[in-house]
Amino acid sequence: MRSYRIAAIPGDGIGTEVIAAGLRALAVCSERDGGFRLAVDHFDWGSDYYKAHGRMMPENGRDQIRHHDAIFFGAVGAPDVPDHVTLWGLRLAICQPFQQYANVRPTRVLPGITSPLRHVSGPELDWVIVRENSEGEYAGVGGRVHKGFPHETATDVAMFTRTGVTRIMRYAFGLARSRPRKRLTVVTKSNAQRHAMVMWDEIAAEVAAEFPDVDCDKMLVDAMTMRMVMRPDSIDTIVATNLHADILSDLAAALAGSLGIAPTGNINPEREFPSMFEPIHGSAFDITGKGIANPVATFWSGAMMLEHLGERDAAARLMRAIERVTADPRLHTPDLGGTATTAQVTDAVCEALLGDN
Ligand code: NAI
Ligand code: MG
């Protein structure tokens, strides 16, 4: 039997609730499939670990998960630890050194879910956002001087490398080519950011020449927000920088119904390191401990993980189970306007998996 080692890092807040739910669904999925098993190792890294040890994960943390087949991640962030400490100490400390440079964010309006867009009934909105995930505005380059004085100065320098931009463009064009519409929108801001974003556009044009069958256009990020709302059916695959795509993907999630359903994969396409799968939402302090977090984003991320591992049938079966459950409004959590709990949704997905032929 095929066997995969999964590193589960639930993290903080609702991260622990949705990862527990996701692991249950994945276990039922592998049982139902019968062809593979998931061996899960649990890591209690996050803000509680930080409060006990002064760091978000052990010094050799990455070594402990370096040889796993994939990472299943919840969320980080606690009300009493600064966000830049939690994010850089755990999530970015994994994504960047593991060269998970392609952050892939599919967005669809699942059956039974209502988009806030009046003119969208479902199929008009079917996108994948590819976010550059290793450099750009989140490269971490910068500093603060004259701390505490009136002339205190702080910089965050956006770093774009030819290697980094070329590889994300190739990935995005390749993904666009694999989808029926073969359409890619390159998001930019080269009118105002006249160095790095101009190089970004130039490299996009160079890579476009390698993919003549992909229909490609270019859009300024501000105009892109308008197009996502006004003409969602004109969009298929999107590639954008770390910051731009971070913002656009929260908008995309909201337009598809809720942040609670939006999944993501942090992919190392060369497979030199494990890739990491997680819901795009954060630790949601406002609903932590209430048992009402929507686990759908985590289930969908689990399906992406199965797909990455090569378990296509199981991934498709899990997606069918998710869609059967979202189709029933009685199984919607409060973020979708319903009253269902995390446990009820999870039970229903597990049942749908067992009933799927
Ligand atoms: P958030 O995503 O945690 O929450 C935003 C809103 O969406 C809240 O009202 C929350 O209740 C709701 N929401 C999110 N996920 C949901 C789900 N599965 N089901 C139902 N409702 C859901 O973003 P926020 O409030 O900006 O950040 C909270 C903390 O999470 C911060 O510390 C932040 O740094 C961290 N964060 C971590 C991320 C990660 O680990 N990947 C991503 C985003 C934020
Ligand atoms: Mg974000």
pLDDT at res. 356: 81
pLDDT in tens, 281-316: 999 999 999 999 999 999 999 999 999 999 999 999
Distance 209 CA to ligand 2 centre (A): 31
Q: Reply yes or no on whether the pLDDT at 198 is more than 80.
A: yes
Give pLDDT, residue 24. Answer: 98
Q: Please tell me the residue having the least CA distance from ligand 1 atom 25.
A: 284
Note the CATH architecture for domain 115-256.
3-Layer(aba) Sandwich (3.40)
Q: What is the pLDDT of residue 102?
A: 98
**Ion ligand 2, residue ranges at CB < 5 A:** 246
Confirm if 240 and 122 have CB atoms less than 8 A apart: no
The ligand with the least distance to the CA atom of 85 is 1
Q: Which atom of ligand 1 is nearest to 279's Cα?
A: 41
Cβ 268 vs Cβ 275: under 8 Å: yes
73 C-alpha to center of ligand 1: Å?
14
Every domain of the chain with CATH number 3.40.718.10 lies at: 1-100+269-357, 115-256
Of 281, 331, 344, the one to substitute when testing ligand 1's pocket (max ligand atoms within 8 A of C-beta) is 281
The answer to whether the CB of 86 falls within 8 A of the CB of 47 is: yes
Between the CA of 281 and the centroid of ligand 1 the distance, in Å, is 4
Q: Is the CB of 84 under 6 A from ligand 1?
A: no
- Does the predicted TM-score (pTM) go above 0.90? yes
Nearest of 47, 3, 20, 44 to residue 298 by alpha carbon: 20
ipTM topping 0.85 = yes
| Rounded Cα gap, residues 313 and 150, in angstroms | 61
**What are the residues facing 5 on neighbouring strands?**
39
When the pLDDT of each residue in the chain is averaged and rounded to a whole number, the result is 97
Q: Which fold has domain 1-100+269-357?
A: Isopropylmalate Dehydrogenase (3.40.718)
Ligand 1 atom showing the smallest separation from residue 11 Cα? 40
